[in-house]
Structure 1
Amino acid sequence: MCVYDVGMDALAGLLEGPRARGAWLLRMILDPPWAVRIEDRAPLTLVTMMRGESWATLPGREPVRLRVGDVALFRGPDPYVVGDDPATAPVGVVRTDGLLYDFDGRQLCDDMALGVRTWGTSPDGASAMHIGTYQMRGEISRRLLDALPPLAVVSGEESDRPLVRLLGEEIVRDEPGQAVFLDRLLDLTLIDTLRAWFALPQADAPAWYRANSDPIVGAALRLLHNDPAHQWTVATLAAAVGVSRAALARRFTDLVGEPPMAYLTGWRLALAADMLTEPDATVGSVARKVGYGTPFALSTAFKRVRGVSPREHRDALSTVD
């Protein structure tokens, strides 16, 4: 039996960044009237409506109704309000610690606890939703976030979402290894939701995502993402996907919006920017991993594209809380 390894595509590469680790997960059950202001500054939050409905209100935008089965992706860090009605005043605010407070600063989660990873007004409340928050940081994650609007909603009427139901069953369980299990399940739900969103006409999917379906450019993208350290040229990349150099350069630029080597440079430097945050990383070790022969070569490219040296980039990040 032959097994064809398609390698890492562009979406898979970007999802390496936001993989959940100890993600904040919660089931919220509330009776009307209710509204909560979210100020946790989380880069990405996934909300699934399991019962009833709610309204999401973002600054400067019309309120959006979320119905049963809908999955919503909120792209932070701007605040927003979720409630039973756009006119309902928030009863509290979720801060950066993930806890709910009233507007006098009193923590409300203990008073509203309803069981494992569950809080609200009553177990049989009219509205029930599951909330998963990603603390995504870094250049790779930013590429994914930049492809999303402030609020992306996948309707429960448009497709069956078995992962959503499974997440609902597992979020209230407290079994050995449950935290890791929920992290992986949240990852799968996110991937499923992103694929469903990017398939919608209104999503205006980014060029790198649309290009993955092209037999030539998609194969080239997978090669670049799978092995960025390889000393690629347009000629070697074209040979690997079975077309001429000119044909690949033209088709890649048309579909992705930039030439192959420019795309590769951007991907290498995004990887390098994230690798530099690792405690034991050196400019030399990172340079080798992303395809630069010397620390000087990486530093030159990094400063030309990003305006700062790799060390300045790392020092700046170390001062951010």
Structure 2
Amino acid sequence: MDVVSDAISAVRTGRPSSNRLRVSGSWCTRLAPYEGAGFHVVLAGSCWLVPDKGGEPVTLGAGDVVLLPHGAGHVLADSPGDTGRAVPFEEMRRPAGDGGPEVELLCGKYRLDRSRTHPLMAELPDVVHLPNRVGRHPELRSAVDLLAQELDERRPGACLALPSLLDLLLIYLVRAWMSEAETGSWPSVLNDPVTTAALRALHSDPAAPWTNDRLAAAAGVSRATLARRFTALVGRAPMAYLTWWRLTLAATRLRDTDAPLATVAREAGYGSPYALSHAFSREFGMTPGRYRGDVRTQ
């Protein structure tokens, strides 16, 4: 696994959901904050997105894609003014129209467990807007085109194809943001060959008996060089990051499977259930068994 795949897999739960919205004339709808991530794909027409937290209104055109990775509340409307007229998205009905242009959007949500958000996902801005520009992010454009086809034709297998395409959309959105980001540390992290090599090694085999010397050898540098570059870019020393990632994997397995604690411990790189329980309790403030029970009842 690579870091981006792991960062998404660790927090994603269930399947994404989506709704198609067709409106025209004067309209305005509010989407409440969500414990996950929201997205919009403009299939036709244009509209405005107005963040709840005072961010600048964003104009969206046909082919544009927007991701709200922290589930921020926002308004979608025909114009950026007078958002007080907004109706809840769940109550939105297609207005009768007053001759204005038709707008069609695919609006949806990803279910995310924010308790162990990877720092790569945490530093995404509240709104990631990727305008439709010729020649930019061809894989993202292809995903948008495929989504539009699945929505229009509803061919056999669409119930599997649509959520799979939405999963691809999330990956391509994160990739596109990383390629264009002017702030944030993780685009720099993954552009540094030494740190990337170390992260790839840790994520490929987190249960291996890693040491600073062994990891430095895998990255092809001295122990001192690895420690300096890794810590400066990632914000944690290599072994501290490994401990955090192992416990994140253990928490994900406890949440998503019925695997025995001994199996979870072995897969996370701990020699015994007791060793995992001790480290897990120190990090989470509760035993693995209690954690599993709590997340299953939420």
User: TM-score surpassing 0.5?
Assistant: yes
Q: How far apart, CA to CA, are the structure 1 residues paired with 2:294 and 2:118?
A: 17
SS of alignment partner, residue 43 of structure 2: strand
In structure 2, the residue corresponding to 1:30 is in which secondary structure?
Answer: strand
Shift of 1:140: 5.1
Change in CA separation of 1:17 and 1:131 when aligned onto 2, cut-off 3 Å: farther
In the TM superposition, 1:264-303 aligns within 5 A as 264-303=242-281
Deviations 1:174-217 (A, max 9, x none): 22221221222222222222111122244x2343x422222221
Match of 2:61 in 1: 67
Measured after TM superposition, the shift of residue 52 of structure 1 is: 2.1
Q: Pick the aligned partner of 2:37 from 44, 49, 72.
A: 44
Q: Residue 101 of structure 1: which of 91, 100, 104 is its match?
A: 91
Structure 2 residue matching 1:169: 3-state secondary structure: helix
Worse-matched range after superposition: 241-250 or 263-272: 241-250
Contact 2:37 2:110 in 1 (8 A): yes
* Offset at residue 229 of structure 1 (A): 0.8
Paired residues of 1:42 and 1:133 also in contact (CA < 8 A): no
Q: Distance in 1 between matches of 2:11 and 2:147?
A: 18
Does 1:155 find its partner at 2:131?
yes
The gaps in structure 1 that reach 5 residues or longer are 1-7, 95-99, 103-107, 113-119
Name the residue aligned to 1:105: none
Distance 1:57 1:186 in 2: 23
- Residue 76 of structure 1 deviates from its aligned partner by 4.2
Q: State whether residues 20 and 183 of structure 1, in contact with CA within 8 Å, keep that contact through their aligned partners in structure 2.
A: no
Please report how far the alpha carbon of residue 315 of structure 1 lies from its aligned counterpart in structure 2 after TM superposition.
2.8
- Residue 237 of structure 2 corresponds to which residue in structure 1? 259
Cα distance, 1:88 vs structure 2: 4.8
Letter in 1 for 2:123: A
One-letter code of the match for 1:167? L
Between the aligned partners of 1:63 and 1:220, the Cα distance in structure 2 is 40
Letter in 1 for 2:66: A
Alpha carbons 2:7, 2:121 under 8 Å: kept: no
Distance 1:225 1:304, change over 3 A: same
CA positional deviation for 1:308? 2.4
Corresponding residue for residue 155 of structure 2: 175
Say if 1:17 and 1:32 are closer, same or farther in 2 by CA, change over 3 A: farther
Other-structure match for 1:236: 214
- What is the SS of the residue equivalent to 1:267? helix
Report if the CA contact (8 A) 2:12-2:111 is conserved: no
Residues 281 and 288 in structure 2, CA contact (< 8 A), matched pair in contact too: yes
Distance 2:219 2:121 in 1: 29
CA apart distance, 1:259: 0.9
Query: Quick one: distance in 1 between partners of 2:24 and 2:44?
Result: 11
Structure 2 counterpart of 1:92, which letter?
A: V
- Contact residue 15 and residue 110 of structure 2 kept, 8 A: no
Counterpart contact for 1:138–1:274, Cα < 8 Å: no
Which is helix-richer, 1 or 2? 2
**SS where residue 216 of structure 1 aligns?**
helix
Q: Does structure 2 conserve the Cα–Cα contact (< 8 Å) formed by 1:21 and 1:180? A: no
Aligned length: 290
Structure 1 match to 2:46: 53
- Residue 93 of structure 1 aligns to which amino acid in structure 2? P
- The verdict on how the C-alpha distance between 1:125 and 1:140 changes in structure 2, with shifts beyond 3 A counting, is farther
| Cα shift readout 1:23-49 (whole Å, capped 9, x = no counterpart) | 322322210211111137251122112
Secondary structure at the aligned position of 2:217 is classed as: helix
Amino acid at match of 1:174: R
TM-score normalised by length of structure 2: 0.86
RMSD of aligned Cα (Å): 2.5
Alpha-carbon spacing, 1:42–1:32, altered in 2? closer, same or farther (3 Å): farther
CA distance 1:218–1:76, shift in 2 (3 Å): closer
The match for 1:130 is 106
Task: Tell me, yes or no, if structure 1 residue 14 matches structure 2 residue 7.
Answer: yes
